[in-house]
Chains A and B, each alone.
Chain A
C-alpha cells in the first residue's frame, strides 16, 4: 500500500495504482480523453497532466504510478494553465459542428471546456479539413474533423474486438483515424466505439439525429438478447412524441458491470430494442369465424377460462418462455402447475436456426432467462415431454389446447411443423408482446408487456440474478405476463394475488433454497451470483 497526498487529501492506495485512479478513489476528477479503464494506456491527449511536488515537469496522471509519499496537485495554477492549453490545442482545428452534432450534451470537449476552458479563442487560421460524415460500417458514422485522435477506437478494435479495422494514418496535424484499406467496421461489437468516443467523431448511425440527449431519460435494465445478461441502460423519450414518430426507446447503452460485460455491449443487443415500440400486440384479439377481432380483457379472460376449464389437465400443454422473468414464470407455475394441475409445461423450443456465440459477450442461447426457467422448475414433470413431444401429442390429439407464451414457433421450427401441429389443435392461446409468424394462428391473442415495461429478474448463464426495471408503462392495453396470469386466475376463481413483482420475488426467495435471503434491494443494480 502507498500513501499519497492529493490536493491536500491524504489517501492510501494499492501498489501499481495510477495517480488518476487514486484521484478517483479520493473523489477528485481529473479530466481525460485517451484514458479508458478497459483499454491500454496511450498517454497522448495530455489533458490529465498534474503537478507532483519535486518533479520539474508536469506528468500525465493516467500513466504515472503512485509512489509512496508523493504530493500531487490537480488544481494548481500550472495545472490549470496546461489543461487549458491542451483544450485550446484540441479545439483549434475542431469544426463548429455543435448545432448538428449528436454528441452535444454528452461531449467531453463541451463538458471540459465549460469546466476548465472558458477562454477567448485566439485561432485565426483555416482549420484542417478531413473526411466528413463517412459511414464506415453499418452502425457507425465517422467525422474525422471532429476527432481528437485519442485513439480509443483504434485500441478497442485491436484489444477488445480484435478485428483491427481502424488505424491512425498520416503524420502531424494531417493524422487521421480511418478504416484500414479495403475494410469496413463490421465486427459484432462495432457499436461500442461510439460509446467510447469522447466527441462526435464516431457516432451511432441508428441514433443519428433522432433526439437530443438532454431529452432522454434512463432506466437500468438487462439486455434480453441472450443468456449473457449484459447490463444495459434504456434511454427513452416520453415527453416529445414528435421525435422518432412517437417511439419511446431511442437507444440502449451498456451499463458497467465488472462481473458480466464490463463496459461493452454487442451490436445485436444494442440495436435489438426496436421490438419494444414496433409490431406490438397492443390489445387482446379473438379469432372468430376466420376473422380477427379486438376484444376486451374481461371478455378474453372469460373465453380463456372457459377453454381451460373444459379440458382435462393432460390435454393442455403450456410452452413457457425463457424470455419471461422469474416473476412471470413463478406465477405461471403456480397457476398452471399448482392450481390447474397441468404437468405438460416446458420452455425449451428446439431451434433449427444457426445461432452462434463467441468467447466474448455473445451466447448461442438467445434467451435471457433459460437458467431462471430451469431453476424455477419449468420442466415437464412427466419425463420426456418436452416441446417436441408436446407437439407430437398435439398431432396425436392427446393435447388439445396449447398455451404459448412469448415464442415464435414458426421461426424456430418451421412453418410446416407448426402447421401440422396446429391442424390437429383445438385451441391455440398465444400470449406475447410482438406480432410474429406464429401469432397469426392464435385463437386467443393476449398482449404482453416487453421487458422494458415491467420489473423483474433474469438469471444469466453464469447463474447471476439481475434486475430489470420498468422504464415506462406497457404500450396500449398490454400487461406484464404475471399480471395476465393473475387475471386468468381471478377469472377462474383461484385465489392467487400479488400486488407487484417484488412480492413475487419474496415468495420465490421463500420457496427456493437457491434464492434464500434474496430481495430486490439485495440484488441491487449489479446483480448477485447464485451459487
Chain B
C-alpha cells in the first residue's frame, strides 16, 4: 500500500492519477470513448449493487473534501440533507470557477464531461434527488457547449431521464448560465443567481441543505468534488482515503500558475509537499529566478513566503501554518514581484466583485483598494500599513459571506510577511525592487 512507498516512488508509478487517468485519450469527452474506457461502470455498480446509504458511507470513508474552496468533508455534507421531506430535493453544482489562479473545472468540463455527469448521477441516486442544476459561469462558453453535448448524449443513452439503467431512478439535468459575477461562486449567492436574481448571499441559517433552491433542501457541490465520486465507488472509500493524508482523502487537481516553467494542471495526492509541486512538477521557477512567495490555494488564501514552501498540501497541514488549501490554485511569485502591486491587483479584484450587500465588505474593500492605489502611485502615508491591517481586521468575521474574509486574509498576510516592502514603497514612493515585473497599469 501507499504508506510504504516514498513520495518519489509514488510519483514514478503515478498510481495516484485516478481522476485524469484516461483524460488524454482522444475522444474521451464523447460518450462512446468514455464507455469504452470504462466509463459509467461506477454508475452501474452504484445502481445495481449498492444502496444509497452504502454510497454515502463510502464517500464519508473516503475523506473526500469540498474542492471548490471550503474543504468541507463531502460525505458529512451529504448527510445534512433531510431524508424525509415533502419538498423536492435538488443538487446544484457549482461551476462558477472564479477564484483567481483556478482553472481545473474548465478543464474537467472540456475534457471529461461524462465523468462529471457520472459523478452527478451517482450523487443524486444516493440522496434521492431527481433534478440537478448545473450553474456554469457565463464566460465558459465552449465548456458549456461540451457539457450540453454530453448531456444530450447521456439522455439518448438512457443515462439521464427516466428509469436510469432500469432501476426506476429518474434524473433531470438542467444547465444554467451565469452572467459574470465571482460572488456567485459562494453557495447561497449561486442559489440566488440560479433563481434569476442578483447574486446576493443569503443569511445562514437556514443552510441550503434545509432551505436552498426555491426553499427546498439543496446540496451544493463543486465540479471537481463530484468528479471523484465514480473513482470512490470503483475503488472504495477507504482506499481513496489512504491515497491522501490525514483527514484529506485521495488526490486533487492542483492548478499551477505564475512564475514556473511548467504551469498547468496536476493531479496529485493530498499531502504532497508544496515544494514538490513547484519544483518537480512545475519545473522550478521560470528563468531560474529565486522563489519569493506562493499563494497556495487561490487568491483568498494567505500568502506563504518562500521559506514556507515545505508545507504539505492537505487541508489540515496548511491550515496549521495559517493558510488554506482552498481551490488548490498555486500561484508562484519570483523575486522580481512587487508584493504591494500584487496585493493591489487582488484587492482590486475583490472590490470589483464585492456584491455590496453588507457594509464591512462593501466599504472596506473599496477603502483597501484606494489606499493601495495611493501607495502605488507614490502618495503613501506613514499610517497606511497599519491602517490596512486594521481595516482587514474590521472586515473579518463581520460580513454575511466569506468574500469579506477573502479580501482581508491576503491583506493581512501580504502586509505582515512583506511589511518592509510596503514601508519602503510608502517612504520612497516607489517599489523596492529594481526591474520588477510590470504588474499593473494605473
Contact = CB atoms under 8 A, between A and B. Distances in A.
A57 interface: yes
A181 interface: no
Nearest to B397: A57
A405 B108 CA distance: 84
B214 to A, nearest CB: 18
A43 B399 CA distance: 10
A49 interface: yes
A44 B357 contact: yes
Contact of B360 (A57, A86, A123): A86
Nearest to A85: B394
Contact of A43 (B365, B371, B400): B400
Contact of B362 (A57, A123, A172): A172
Interface residues of A, number: 35
A45 B351 CA distance: 18
A171 B355 contact: yes
Interface in A84-118: 85-86, 88-90, 92-93
A416 to B, nearest CB: 57
A58 B397 contact: yes
Interface in B372-399: 374, 381, 383, 387, 390, 394, 397-399
Contacts of A92: 363, 367
B30 interface: no
Contacts of B400: 43-44, 46
B166 interface: no
Nearest to B371: A125
Contact of A173 (B181, B363, B383): B363
Contact of B351 (A81, A123, A173): A173
B394 A88 contact: yes
Contacts of A133: none
B356 A172 contact: yes
A167 to B, nearest CB: 9
Given A46-B360, A123-B367, A173-B365, A86 B398 contact: yes
A58 B356 contact: no
A90 B359 contact: yes
B362 A125 contact: no
Interface string A140-179: 0000000011000000000000000000101111110000
From A89, A92, A128, A149, name the one whose CB has the most chain B CB atoms within 10 angstroms.
A89
Given A43-B400, A46-B399, A63 B203 contact: yes
A151 to B, nearest CB: 8
Nearest to B183: A171
A49 B394 CA distance: 12
A124 interface: yes
A241 interface: no
Contacts of B362: 89, 149, 172-173, 175
Contacts of A44: 357-359, 400
B77 interface: no
From B203, B374, B400, name the one whose CB has the most chain A CB atoms within 10 angstroms.
B203
Interface in A68-90: 81-82, 85-86, 88-90
B160 to A, nearest CB: 35
B2 to A, nearest CB: 36
B366 A82 contact: no
B44 interface: no
A172 B203 contact: no
Interface of B: 181, 203, 351-360, 362-367, 370-371, 374, 381, 383, 387, 390, 394, 397-400
6 contacts: A44-B359, A123-B367, A168-B356, A171-B355, A172-B351, A172-B365
6 A-B pairs closest in CB distance: A175-B356, A85-B394, A173-B366, A125-B370, A89-B363, A172-B354
